[in-house]
């Protein structure tokens, strides 16, 4: 039903675009100068819609139309990196808000002094995974550290991972004998916030070695459900990576994503610039980017990936 609703919206959108185009052409054919301004406004609006449809046409992957689970992990750099991870969390939450998407924080781990060590977020909406797969990789921040008494320049790293959300009846099978489920008490801020019951869940997938923890909910069953959602998503992502690596080997090219190879740099000092190293797309308005303005980076990534897919092979 979800897929049917999405297809129905796409069909209605195309029909509406065709009707608006025909109406605009009919008005232009009247050659009435008093309508010139209205026709120009409508032409600009139609052009904007066509650009949006063109971007959606790039989202043709098998899971591009699905919801996504996004996780952020602070890297080397101590408190600065943990603060950077929280800045990235805010950036993606604002991006989701700008695009009318629903978000749910499944699990999070607070930093020692500030920020977060890690967070896992479920983001629901149209083509979420297709858009956010451009964000997978290491993100690098250069700034004057607010946690350094000498106010020196620091470089911080955080890893962003994105998985497509899949239903329990998908092609990912999890046998009960393949998982081990442990319960423990959720970590809290102390006092009344400390959980007295073992509501936190840790699921270990024995064949792959994947470990998933969830502790944000007060209900053990809800934490277990969320942990299984994440486990299914990560197993599907492993399967997808294996298929991509095998295809890359057949093509004679394969570059693995290593921790040290950042995909994007956010420089706040000595100048201000956000640059994607895969596409060379850059923006000087770092405040807007950190406030969720990621559409330019996503568009550039999707177009360059599409170009690689259609590039003729020898």
- Condensed to tens digits (0 to 9), the pLDDT of residues 259-312 reads 557 899 999 999 999 999 999 999 999 999 999 999 999 999 998 887 765 544
Answer whether residue 46 shows pLDDT above 70: yes
* DSSP secondary structure of 210-268: EEEEE-SSS-HHHHHHHHHHHHHHHHHHHHHHHHHHHHHHHHT------TT-EEEEEE-
CA–CA separation, 220 vs 183, rounded Å? 8
Q: What is the pLDDT of residue 188?
A: 54
Mean pLDDT over the full length of the chain:
85
- Condensed to tens digits (0 to 9), the pLDDT of residues 131-143 reads 999 999 999 999 9
Q: What is the pLDDT of residue 60?
A: 79
Answer whether residue 250 shows pLDDT above 50: no
Q: What is the mean pLDDT of residues 111-137?
A: 92
Q: What is the mean pLDDT of residues 116-134?
A: 93
Q: What is the mean pLDDT of residues 163-176?
A: 76
Q: What is the pLDDT of residue 84?
A: 96
Kind of pairing between the strands at 68-74 and 273-276: unpaired
Q: What is the pLDDT of residue 34?
A: 85
pTM: 0.77
Q: What is the mean pLDDT of residues 116-127?
A: 93
Residue predicted with more confidence, 14 or 250? 14
Q: What is the pLDDT of residue 237?
A: 83
Q: What is the pLDDT of residue 190?
A: 45
Alpha carbon 153 to its chain's center: 28
CA–CA separation, 192 vs 189, rounded Å? 8
């Amino acid at each position: 039903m979800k897929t049917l609703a999405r297809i129905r919206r796409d069909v209605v959108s195309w029909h509406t675009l065709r009707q608006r185009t025909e109406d605009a052409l009919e008005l232009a054919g009247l050659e009435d100068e008093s309508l010139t301004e209205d026709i120009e406004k409508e032409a600009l609006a139609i052009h904007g819609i066509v650009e949006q449809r063109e971007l959606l046409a790039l989202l043709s992957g098998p899971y591009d139309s699905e919801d996504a689970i996004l996780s952020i992990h602070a890297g080397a750099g101590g408190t600065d990196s943990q603060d950077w991870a929280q800045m990235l969390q805010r950036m993606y939450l604002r991006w989701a808000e700008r695009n009318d998407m629903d978000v749910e924080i499944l699990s999070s781990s607070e930093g020692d002094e500030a920020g977060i060590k890690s967070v896992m977020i479920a983001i629901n909406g149209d083509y979420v995974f297709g858009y956010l797969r451009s964000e997978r990789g290491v993100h690098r921040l250069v700034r004057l550290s607010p946690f350094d008494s000498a106010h020196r320049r620091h470089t911080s790293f955080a890893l962003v991972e994105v998985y497509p959300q899949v239903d329990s009846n998908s092609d990912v099978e999890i046998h009960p004998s393949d998982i081990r489920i442990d319960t423990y008490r959720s970590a809290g801020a102390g006092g009344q916030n400390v959980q007295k019951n073992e509501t936190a869940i840790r699921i270990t997938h024995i064949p792959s070695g994947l470990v998933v923890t969830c502790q944000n909910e007060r209900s053990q069953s809800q934490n277990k459900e969320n942990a299984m959602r994440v486990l299914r998503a990560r197993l599907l992502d492993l399967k997808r990576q294996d298929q991509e690596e095998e295809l890359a080997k057949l093509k004679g090219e394969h570059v693995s994503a290593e921790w040290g190879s950042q995909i994007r740099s956010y420089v706040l000092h000595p100048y201000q610039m956000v640059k994607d190293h895969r596409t060379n797309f850059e923006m000087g308005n770092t405040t807007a980017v950190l406030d969720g303005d990621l559409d330019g980076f996503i568009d550039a990534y999707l177009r360059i990936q599409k170009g690689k897919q259609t590039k003729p092979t020898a």
